[in-house]
Structure 1
């Protein structure tokens, strides 16, 4: 049975990340510190081989993909974009803690949307659609290893809902330039819409799995 690998990675840091801002739809580039951090990871660790790369259309994700996988075919997918934080977009955590609407959102049942924003359920729905599209392309074209550069909230929600072993979303947190390798088979996907979370990436230098090269 053929096994497919999707290497799911979080983008690098932006200035807003360093300032503690809620950034979703806002299209920011990598900051110098974020680029330097990714370059250090790339030079001191090993990223898994990928025949092609998919990314969120937001600049920070596309720049990360181009830095970590230079020269690989890159396809932006709108469904891979970050959660839309609506009225809380581009505001600092310190500022938001004084906002009754933010406190109400934090206290609301899981999955509630921020004012004028997007719910976690909507985020998960399009994340699943993105994975389904990528996996269908992989099976059709006999491509067994791809990289996907996206955002932290999408990674956590997707893995909490569909990943094995089962874990709550916060336990699937990934640092900038880091993520997880997903193993998929046609049978598991069609029957259960699940995948195995195989390992964390990148690997320490000299310990990478480059068997697909």
Structure 2
């Protein structure tokens, strides 16, 4: 069984203002970068064989801070939802907008005006996730082969101790994405059934999971 991590990007200026930030390209703010580095130093983030990433700037910056000098596999369909007319605005700015009230009354299921519907967003995220899982199960990494050989040999006890430590906080892949992307994936594939919004997590947080070949996910721990 493969092990993956879903990690939400670090904080941006728009996140601090609680704005709808979807297609807008925002860099991480200083607070966001500092927070990620502190969590990294504490050992929160797992070792990763492969790193998949939304193409949005905030996700690529997060990936480069947490996993420097690593190849990023960019997945266009992991990008955040297009919030349409709500883009770049927060609840206070939208509170008197009748279109926003209609969207609230729909429990978030109506399409964003001139943007995406949740159904469209969920579909593209989930299809992209299924392709990642298929790719992971088709590949056997060089490091896995080396680890297996060391285990069979059993001649280097110190090396095996290091391997054991590494696998305690290891993943076959890390997906650095958006809050909405995480909710779309887990609400469909997690074995623990929860509402879409119940899978939300803060910036720089996420989940370490066991991923079955059919895509189903079991939560190991929160990140």
Instruction: Give 1:74's aligned residue.
Output: 72
Instruction: Give 2:201's aligned residue.
Output: 174
| CA deviation vs aligned residue, 1:115-160 (integer Å, no higher than 9, x gap) | 1111111111111111111112111222471000000112112211
Secondary structure in 1 aligned to 2:220? strand
* Cα distance between partner residues in 1 of 2:119 and 2:19: 22
Secondary structure in 2 aligned to 1:72? coil
Q: Report runs of 4+ in structure 1 exceeding 6 Å deviation.
A: none
Instruction: Give 2:40's aligned residue.
Output: 42
8 Å CA contact 1:51, 1:72 repeated in 2: no
Deviation, 1:184, is 1.7
* Cα distance between partner residues in 2 of 1:86 and 1:110: 13
Instruction: Give 2:8's aligned residue.
Output: 10
Secondary structure in 1 aligned to 2:174? strand
Secondary structure in 2 aligned to 1:50? strand
* Cα distance between partner residues in 1 of 2:188 and 2:76: 20
Instruction: Give 2:219's aligned residue.
Output: 197
- 1:64 aligns to 2:62 (yes or no): yes
Q: TM-score, normalised by structure 2?
A: 0.82
Secondary structure in 1 aligned to 2:175? strand
Q: TM-score, normalised by structure 1?
A: 0.86
* Cα distance between partner residues in 2 of 1:197 and 1:179: 10
* Cα distance between partner residues in 1 of 2:107 and 2:49: 40
Distance 1:42 1:85, change over 3 A: same
Moved more, 152-161 or 5-14: 152-161
Instruction: Give 1:148's aligned residue.
Output: 175
8 Å CA contact 2:10, 2:32 repeated in 1: yes
Unaligned runs of 5+ in 1: 202-213
| CA deviation vs aligned residue, 1:43-88 (integer Å, no higher than 9, x gap) | 1233111111011100000100111111222111111000110010
Deviation, 1:110, is 4.7
Alignment: residue pair count: 194
- 1:163 aligns to 2:179 (yes or no): no
8 Å CA contact 1:164, 1:194 repeated in 2: yes
What are the within-5 Å matches in structure 2 for residues 20-35 of structure 1?
20-35=18-33
Structure with higher Rg: it is 2
Unaligned runs of 5+ in 2: 142-170
Cα-Cα RMSD = 1.4
